[in-house]
A and B are shown apart, each in its own frame.
Chain A
Amino acid sequence: MLTRPIRVLLAKVGLDGHDRGIRVVARTLRDAGMDVIYSGLHRTPEEVVTAAIQEDVDVLGVSLLSGVQLTVFPKIFRLLDSKGANDMIVVAGGVMPDEDVLELRKMGVKEVMLQDTPPDMIVATLTRLVSERGER
């Protein structure tokens, strides 16, 4: 059992303005009792990683529907590494081809949740990932 609510930073990185999904996820996680911070649009990887560390979140969730996942995620992992935060759970959401999903998983993204993932499954996934890692 977790002793405190799971803390999540949800972020939109780059120029992509598609925020329907991330706002649905934000509300879902909040309704499930998690502490949710949403970055708003058009953030850089630097801003997102800095915020995730400052806010001491368990999970960093990045949503992308603009196809730049293979540019953005390597940067995020490099930044997390350089700041000694490689135990941060990173998940992805959005629309992307299957081969990119495989690449992201190799890179260290724990789950890639694409369109039509049921809200309850997202809650269950994050809960499982945080329990597996243990509290920080």
Chain B
Amino acid sequence: MTEIVERQPLFQTAIENLRAEVADWESNEVASFLSKQAERKPAFFTLGDVPVKRTYTAADLAETPLEDIGLPGRYPFTRGPYPTMYRSRMWTMRQIAGFGTGEDTNKRFKYLIAQGQTGISTDFDMPTLMGYDSDHPMSEGEVGREGVAIDTLADMEALLEGIDLEKISVSMTINPSAWILLAMYIVLAEKRGHDLNKLSGTIQADILKEYMAQKEYIFPIEPSVRIVRDCITYCAKNMKRYNPINISGYHISEAGSSPLHEAAFTLANLIVYVEEALKTGMQVDEFAPRLAFFFVCQADFFEEVAKFRALRRCYAKIMKERFGAKNPESMRLRFHCQTAAASLTKPQYMVNVVRTSMQALAAVLGGCQSLHTNGYDEAFAIPTEDAMRMALRTQQIIAEETNVTQVTDPLGGSYFVESLTTEYEKRILEILEEVNARGGTIKLIQEGWFQRHIADFAYETALRKQSGEKPVIGVNCFVDGTKDPEIHTHPYDQSTAERQIARTRRVRRERDGAKFEKLLQQLVIVAKDPAQNILPITIELVRSGGTMGEIVETLKGIWGCYRETPVF
């Protein structure tokens, strides 16, 4: 004890000496060098506009309390959610797939599993995402095009046919209609005789970022948040290993935001969901361990690593200090990561493989739990099998050949990365305070505040690309006239809608109509009472052959639809 007290002033003196040395270096070596040759730019910034210095030293590191850096698997989890990270278990290589009918996507899943993929992730078509059945007029042309079409339990059965749900975790990228797919997944698992508490998987179900960014919404905010709450509390009681939500910054970033806003806005949404679940009387430690996250990995390498580390630290502090979590599992942020689709280009498209591998490496050095790497054909259409194989191989090279997985948080202690991590933490918490002071997340969504920030940065980015300030290889620099090799994009099978609609109509025809009508009436009663959980009745409805569209249309009759006032 005495030794520590005595050493503290020595450390302070050393840092002061170092600061003096840095000042001396600036006025001698640096100044003399600059007099001969100026730097490339008057000032340097990260992609997210955070200023960066010429170099960083132990004096910068000293600005971060050592306990904020800490150790992996220990509060505040800056260095990783688990103590041994990839030394024990690699991240889950989870390439998203989805097109056509359940059978079509099932084939792609089996191909990816055969190639060594360890989890599956499902993309749904626009009608499914928006809660329309395949035979609704709004679905015309969209059935099975950008993802798989799911209307009924029979579709879900086809999608997951022959896949062992206790071995392979199933992630579903779906939001306003997520709870209906969760209900289908539950009925399917029960029919197969699984113990629900043994199943792991995720539904995205993060509706608030839809209003902010991705714009897949159906109902007004209040009932939509209630549905999220219902998924969280239902899973906490019945599916102990299932992630009922994937709170997502990815779409906020893809819609144009800076990495800082991606991070801060995601945590603003987290706070709403936790508050809503707490209102049901649940304790934070009963549900928080299963809250999961999803972030993008953009092109600015160190900024992204710092972003992930700062997010973990902020989350730990929010859960402990604001919500009184006691269980460390409630304080460790786990996240899925996807490389940045919006960074990929059509010209010289094979270069996308390089971009994606750099971003994937940053995601791994940032400590992701699962990862999707984009296909080189992302800027054309949904990916082909070949593009997905290349993307998966990219992850496998990082995992198996580079040895970056041998040491946990290998960038921990880097003067620059620690400094940027702390800068990010500070800025994230400032934004959260501003959101609070301005009346909270939901009020600000209604006012378009988040949307405005996202649109501003998107516009700024477009102008910077145009001026060349933001270089994009093959687009505004290093453009060459050579013709790219011909690309074969994923074809759309014109028979999809017909096949899909035939099955949906068969399910409607063959069910017990009277029983189904009775269940729909019960749904109305449950929907009108916000104290009730909407999942049990939804489970009964899909079990009895109810379609997603029927459930959604019934609820639109009660809750109405959301319509945004667009900002630009």
Contact = CB atoms under 8 A, between A and B. Distances in A.
Contacts of A30: 568
A23 B458 contact: yes
Interface string B233-262: 000000000000000000000111000000
Contact of B215 (A17, A67, A95, A116): A17
Interface residues of A, number: 34
B568 A26 contact: yes
Nearest to B210: A17
A15 B130 contact: yes
A23 B380 contact: no
A119 B462 contact: yes
Contacts of B465: 116, 118
A119 B132 contact: no
Contacts of B546: none
A93 B238 CA distance: 46
Given A15-B132, A27-B455, A97 B381 contact: yes
A120 B476 CA distance: 13
A14 B346 contact: no
Contact of A116 (B216, B382, B472, B563): B472
A15 B130 CA distance: 7
A15 B138 contact: yes
Interface string B119-133: 000000011011010
B346 A116 contact: yes
A40 B379 contact: no
A24 interface: yes
Interface of B: prevailing SS? loop
B568 A27 contact: yes
Contacts of A26: 568
A111 interface: no
User: What does DSSP make chain A's interface, helix, strand, loop or mixed?
Assistant: loop
Nearest to A38: B566
Contacts of B563: 40
Interface in B111-165: 126-127, 129-130, 132, 138-142, 145-146
A44 B466 CA distance: 32
Contacts of B466: 118-120
B533 interface: no
B23 interface: no
Nearest to A26: B568
A14 B567 CA distance: 19
A106 interface: no
A71 interface: yes
Interface in A1-43: 14-20, 22-24, 26-28, 30, 38, 40-42
Interface in B329-365: 342, 345-346
Interface string A35-55: 000101110100000000000
A119 B345 contact: no
A41 B563 CA distance: 9
A86 interface: no
B475 interface: yes
A61 B381 CA distance: 21
